[in-house]
Chain A
Amino acid sequence: MNVTVQPDKLTAKDFASDQEVRWCPGCGDYAILKAMHKSLADMGARPENTVFISGIGCSSRFPYYMATYGFHTIHGRAPAIATGVKLARPELDVWVVTGDGDALSIGGNHLFHALRRNVDLNILLFNNEIYGLTKGQYSPTSRVGQRSPSTPMGSVDSPAEACTYALGCGARFIARGIDVQAKELDVLFRRAREHKGASFVEIIQNCIVYNDAVFESFTAKDVAADMQLHVKHGQPMLYGKDRNKGLRFNPQTFKIETVVVGENGVTEKDILVHDETNRVLASLLVALRPPNAPEVLGVIYCDPAAQSYEVAVKAQEAQAKAKGPGDLDKLMRAGNTWSVT
């Protein structure tokens, strides 16, 4: 057997495949890809033990650009295929790359069940609120009124909110990042990989061709600081240029409201402290969306279960095997048999 000797410390380059990247120039996917190459190298991941699985759509071309194992599958089904991979080989580090159409429209059911079962997958949903590869139709995350080839007068149906959906599905790790924020993405990738169970990461991703600047209300340079809240476990949820804006819980309305420290008697003590293990808090945070509130970024929820799905499955199998390996001849002769001589 020939084994390629890998240098001990891999670099971002070692995770980039030799294939030419074919996203549109300026696409947010480039930044995410680059962040992933670097993160995996920094985390000490091994390319041979890493698998990227995707469905169909622009984001789903991701595996072709990774020098790991990769499987570009069919529309919406990546979580199901990844579940099969994980059931067969729990030791593999399995990432699912999907988009808003792939994950929340055609594949909504599979995403639900992968999260509910808590399969140890790292699921990255690139949300650009549009169908890119099919040339610009509105997607399940498009906002009401989205004009597109299929909705020339504007869409009329309410959008899905990815993190709210994931939380409702029973996900125990939910995070949100922005395509160009490599440093923050690095943390999210690392945390997602460390989390045992299904990790769900929504990445706000700009489609430069069909939906450019749709996230400007919180990504534009001039508003970013005032419209992005980067949460950290155990720290008060403060944001803003002057870090004087914050979130406060109003027990009368059972809502989270944005306040300014120093105004109307608000002190830092009134500001909510992030507790990523608190599901109720997570449900309030994922519901906050610009322009009425800041975009909440970072690890919003992380509350690992005792074991992930495939670990529980393997435990049952080990229990069955403990009674001795299967013997087909014996099995087929068990019960009522008779001999003919």
Chain B
Amino acid sequence: MNLQADASRNGGPAGAPVSKSDLDSIVVRFAGDSGDGVQMLGSQFSQETALAGNSLATFPDFPAEIRAPTGTTYGVSAFQINFGSRVVKTAGDQPDVLVALNPAALMVNYKGLRKGGLVILDQGAFKEKDIKRAGFTVDPRTDGTLKEFRVLEIDISAQTLEVAKPFGVTQKEALRAKNLWTLGLVSWMYDREMNSTMEYLTRKFGADDAVGKANVAALKAGHAYGETHELSGDVAPITMPSVKVEPGVYRLVSGAEALSWGLAAGAQLAGLETVLASYPITPSSPILHILAKLKQFGITTFQAEDEIAACCAAIGASYAGKLGITASSGPGIALKTEAIGLAISTELPLIIVDTQRGGPSTGLPTKTEQSDLFIAVWGRNGDAPIPVIASKSPGDCFEVAIEAVRLATKYMTPVMLLSDGYIANAAEPWLIPSMKDYKPFPVKFHEDVEGFHPFKRDPHTLARVWAKPGTPGLMHRIGGIEKDYNSGNISYDPANHQKMTDTRAAKIDNIANDIPEQDVAVGDTKGKLAVVGWGSTFGPINRAVHNMREKEGLDVSHIHIRHIWPLPRNLGQLLKSYEKVLVAEMNNGQMLTFLKSQFLVDAKGLLKVSGQPLKIEEVSSAIRSMLGSN
């Protein structure tokens, strides 16, 4: 029987407000209409927070609709940030502060707020019809709905209008600056420098633009409001000490950025130019957008007519001697499967990035899930193995992308790189790597005519030669029909098909000898319980295991799997050295089934498919339950 992650059940430390002196991290959630600029507000606040030297993790949580009808609950867009003076690993289980720019935002989010937490409301947005539209029968400010929280009501709309109007902007334009007014206020609350936001606004609007000026004025006014108004003691400014981390130059990075740069870096290390062929799909599109701006890196981007064409064009590019990459999300990956099979059969390098989202079908386009593990490992016709690797955090996408390129080019194989909607959009402080620290793995194209055939293999890696068109004397034909092991010509010979199938599998299995052995992220290499995770659940599992060991003295370890196929060669042995194994993942038990089938381990699952990341408390309570300590 698996454990259910139940967000409503986890209380965490309830009751009185945390005293400011022992705060080592704070979770703030901004929420408003999808047209309120909440994502911009959140990402600018993140930028300021990062520059202040805090550790942080963010969670943009927005609807699939671009501009849902105003004031509706399904149009609410939110951005959560957890920042602290200790290393922050998740965007936080429960917000300490909720900024609700309208009643719908309050409706959707107030239940998740920590008891005793602070709610900041835009009074101006709480007109009777707005309150009704959000689904409150009575004004939540007066009926005790918010009695467990501290409430700070400010007419942010009116304040913004007053300061923005003189710049000669329309009422609508003026009101749209309320996200900046709010940012000003919150920047004051947490003692943030606003320079980076000012620079951002100047870049975006130009120095002389009226809307830009109105926005800057709103930002400053929000800050000044905090300084000059006598807010209640609880809202006095807090200075969060900076976190102690490894020295170096840092920046904020999202998963989509780090992944795109990692692909560029990998191609550079391989000495290859790249063609990224993609079709727009949420939440994968930012990779296409980012790489489209990197033409000077020898990167060609191609917005194909559909997902299939995108994969095919990438394969065509690899066939022609460049690195073909295609990036998509679940529905797109499903469409690409036949083409991926062609790349497997013709043994061409190809990177397939799957930024997973809620499924099945269209599912939850903007929400996160890890339910493409099966399609990544097994989702093709025929026996069609490929390496699959998964990133654990935004910054880790850089490393994983380089590893994907290394494997694809060294073993002449498609590689599936799994990210997810959470990683792609979330940002974290990132120690910027230096390219000189990476060892190049240059590709050598085959040019020797002597004894050439297209399926001539390296005896160690079993990779076939890569001979590109244009090379004299190496003209050859490849295709999806089975090929003769010794010539590459079409072959329907039964024994040959067995041999080729076995060889393709052995080539991929052999990669297990070229990847690190499985380590233990936290804890011992044996004991009572191992919590196994992969992908973006790294943060909550890691923090929960830490907490359970340190605060409750439980014998629990954290194993994080990066290489999903082939699995690290010692993983089976390692799992058997624990009395119990818990697999925590955001799907209905895919890694769980996978590990059971591979190693016959009697693992249990902590499974969650709500479109929301795992919470630390959900993992902690599963650990307690597995170890019988609650």
Contact = CB atoms under 8 A, between A and B. Distances in A.
A85 B317 contact: yes
Interface in A84-99: 84-89, 91-92
Interface in A41-55: 47-49, 51, 53
Given A71-B479, A85-B319, A110-B305, A2 B448 contact: yes
B308 A80 contact: yes
B324 interface: yes
A71 B447 contact: no
A19 B484 CA distance: 13
A320 B470 CA distance: 26
A295 to B, nearest CB: 31
Contact of A337 (B53, B341, B432): B432
A49 B470 contact: yes
A335 B435 CA distance: 18
The interface centre, meaning the residue of A72, A80, A87, A329 with most chain B CB atoms within 10 A of its CB, is: A80
Contact of B316 (A84, A326, A335): A84
Nearest to B478: A71
A82 B316 contact: yes
B316 A4 contact: no
Interface residues of A, number: 61
B296 A323 contact: yes
A63 interface: yes
Interface in B330-360: 338-339, 341-342, 346
B535 interface: no
Contacts of B346: 71
Contacts, number: 213
B252 A332 contact: no
Interface string B311-334: 011111111111010000000000
Contacts of A341: 247
The interface centre, meaning the residue of B50, B320, B339, B468 with most chain A CB atoms within 10 A of its CB, is: B320
A222 B302 CA distance: 51
A329 B477 contact: no
Contacts of B494: none
A109 B306 contact: yes
A328 B268 contact: yes
The interface centre, meaning the residue of B295, B310, B474 with most chain A CB atoms within 10 A of its CB, is: B295
Contacts of A89: 320-322, 468-470
Given A80-B312, A325-B296, A338-B51, A73 B480 contact: yes
A181 interface: no
B625 interface: no
A64 B309 CA distance: 23
B489 interface: yes
A74 interface: yes
B473 A339 contact: no
B449 interface: yes
Interface string A7-37: 0000000000101000000000000000000
Contacts of A63: 477, 479
Contact of B50 (A64, A71, A320, A336): A336
A6 interface: yes
Contacts of B474: 48
Contacts of A266: none
Query: What is the interface of chain A mostly: helix, strand, loop, or mixed?
Result: mixed
Given A64-B490, A69-B475, A92-B320, A340 B313 contact: no
Given A72-B478, A83-B313, A85-B320, A335 B294 contact: no
Contacts of B341: 74
B166 interface: no
B338 A74 contact: yes
A3 interface: yes
Interface in A133-169: none
A68 interface: yes
B47 interface: yes
B300 to A, nearest CB: 5
A326 B267 CA distance: 12
Contacts of A64: 477, 479, 490
Contacts of A324: 296
B475 A48 contact: yes
Contacts of A332: 251, 261, 432-433
Interface string A218-229: 000000000000
B250 A109 contact: no
A81 interface: yes
Nearest to B308: A77
Contacts of A49: 469-470
Contacts of A69: 469, 475-477
Contacts of B489: 19
A84 B314 CA distance: 6
A77 B275 contact: no
A333 B339 contact: no
Contact of A72 (B268, B294, B309, B477): B477
A19 B490 contact: yes
The interface centre, meaning the residue of A63, A87, A341 with most chain B CB atoms within 10 A of its CB, is: A87
A68 B467 CA distance: 13
Contacts of A331: 261, 294
B312 A66 contact: no
B481 interface: yes
Contacts of B275: 84, 87-88
Given A320-B295, A336-B51, A17 B477 contact: yes
B606 interface: no
Interface string B182-215: 0000000000000010000000000000000000
A67 B474 CA distance: 10
B470 A92 contact: yes
Contacts of B432: 332-333, 337
A80 to B, nearest CB: 4
B490 A316 contact: no
B264 A333 contact: no
A3 B264 contact: no
Closest 3 CB pairs of A and B: A84-B316, A72-B479, A84-B313
11 contacts: A1-B448, A19-B490, A70-B476, A71-B319, A87-B316, A88-B273, A112-B305, A326-B296, A332-B432, A333-B251, A340-B53
Given A2-B473, A88-B321, 10 more contacts: A3-B472, A4-B472, A48-B469, A48-B473, A48-B475, A72-B477, A81-B315, A84-B317, A320-B295, A339-B250
